[in-house]
Amino acid sequence: MKTLPPASRRDTRSLGAVVAGLEATRRRIAALHAEELQLLARADAIAAEQTARVPSSERREREMPARAIAAEVGAALRRPDRGMQDRMRDATVLVEGFAATVAALREGRVDAGHVRVIQDAGAVIGDPEVRARFEQAALVVCERETPGRAKPIVTVIAQKLRPVPLQERHADAAAGRRVWVRDLDDGMAELAAVLPAVLAYAIRDRLTQHAREITAARRARAADEPVAETDDETVAETPDDTVAETPDDTVAETADDPVATDTRTTDQIRADVLTDLLLTGCATAPTATGVLPEAAAVTAQVQIVIPAATLVGAGAAPAELLGYGPIDPDTARRLAAAADVWERVFTSPATGAVHHVDTYRPSRAQRRHLDARDEHCRFPGCRRPARFCDHDHTHDHACGGPTAVANLANLCARHHAMKHATAWSVIQKPRGILEWTSPTGRVYPDTPRRVLEFSALDQATAGAPAPF
């Protein structure tokens, strides 16, 4: 009997056909999500109709119709009825309050992740007219960016269209800070915390810096070189965040060396350093490595954008923690007061594009300009911070590309290598817009977030199409 080859070997579709099929599938999934929202909202409306007919004013009796309907829907979908009741209410909020977003979901222009981003940011906007403008601007962003990249931009848009007392909101939210533990299997547990965003990002950055020092020392030892201080921007990582194995003939020599025999991943090192810092109070490496001296000073780095008027106390516009979103002015001013260096970023009043950055170190002006403009790796969807990226010549310098801002962009090690080693190509257009072309000929533009944010707001206000 003849054995058929595996299905993957029989499939003769090209990569372009596969990508097109995935796009079509994603659109159908988005349309089904929109249909599900409509049905859940209808179930919630039926519950409201039945509740209106309950003669009693007792809260318990008036809750019964919604509970009963949620229980039936949950049973049919094999989901808990408590969670289903929340999903029904949430669907009503979306269908009635974010109609344009649901329509974009139905048409496959955004997916469920984008819908959550828009709903969370727009929840504070009660005015229907302002919310409609917010949706229009937010959809411009979400149709071009991943949910992770879109979230801080959409949050800032919501804040600008409907200013709220962010200081009070932050104070209320900070009052809910907490730490908890959730049990896991196999003798493990999850430690989690809710903290002010600036502190949470600073903690992660400090852990990452410690991990990079340990990894760099391990690599230097494996190469039989002296341990030297490293710059975060120049330490490359292997694809799986682990160091390459040393040759067999060096095993005997390094068997007693805790650094050379350390095989932990970056995530594992971060977890170990966190444990060490919390339990000992010192910035030491785990006992198994002995790399960092006790109380080694590693200063966390966060990047804050503060409007000039806010900085001097003459305005109340929120500052922004890059990669997160708006933070309250008082926190921003406190961080600015403790900063060693301030960098002024000048943006265009017409497009929002970064024009230039001035500081007392002009030899690094281009790097500061690029980091202010890009904020992260400029490959579509990548969010690796600019300080961990390379300043890449869009048009290769060896082929005559100038070392100019208009020919430079931040690329992480992964996408920098891919640009040079694969059929992916990129050109740079005005205002720092990169236009990537895939091996199948598809074009993926990547717009600096400030240009995208400005254009989205401008379009929402004037009703004009985005100039991309």
Average pLDDT on 136-141 reads 95
Cβ neighbours around 334 below 10 Å, total: 11
> What percentage of residues in the chain have a pLDDT greater than 70?
78
Res 292: pLDDT: 46
Q: CA torsion 370→376→382→383, rounded to 10°? A: -170
Res 187: pLDDT: 75
pLDDT of 258 above 60: no
pLDDT of 441 above 70: yes
Distance CA 404, CA 47 (A): 62
The structure tokens listed for 414 are 């992964």
Q: What is the pLDDT of residues 263-281, one digit of tens each?
A: 788 888 888 888 878 776 6
Distance CA 63, CA 60 (A): 5
Distance CA 259, CA 290 (A): 7
Report pTM: 0.64
Q: Quick one: which of 170, 118, 130, 150 has its CA closest to 334?
A: 170
Res 23: pLDDT: 94
Q: What is the pLDDT of residues 195-247, one digit of tens each?
A: 888 888 888 888 888 888 888 887 777 766 554 444 443 333 433 343 333 34
Q: What is the pLDDT of residues 287-299, one digit of tens each?
A: 334 444 444 445 5
Q: What is the pLDDT of residues 33-74, one digit of tens each?
A: 999 999 999 999 999 999 999 888 888 888 899 999 999 999
For helices 99-106 and 112-122, what crossing angle results, to 10°?
170
pLDDT of 141 above 90: yes
> 463, exposed or middle or buried, with CB in 10 Å at 0-12, 13-18, 19+?
exposed
Instruction: Please list, in sequence order, all residues whose beta carbon lies within 8 angstroms of the beta carbon of residue 177, skipping any fewer than 6 positions away.
Output: 193, 194, 195, 196
Res 344: pLDDT: 57
CA 313: distance to chain centroid? 30
* pLDDT band at residue 467 using 50, 70 and 90 as cut-offs: low
Distance CA 421, CA 328 (A): 44
Average pLDDT on 347-371 reads 68
DSSP 337-369: HH-S---EEEE-TTT--EEEEE-S-GGGHHHHH
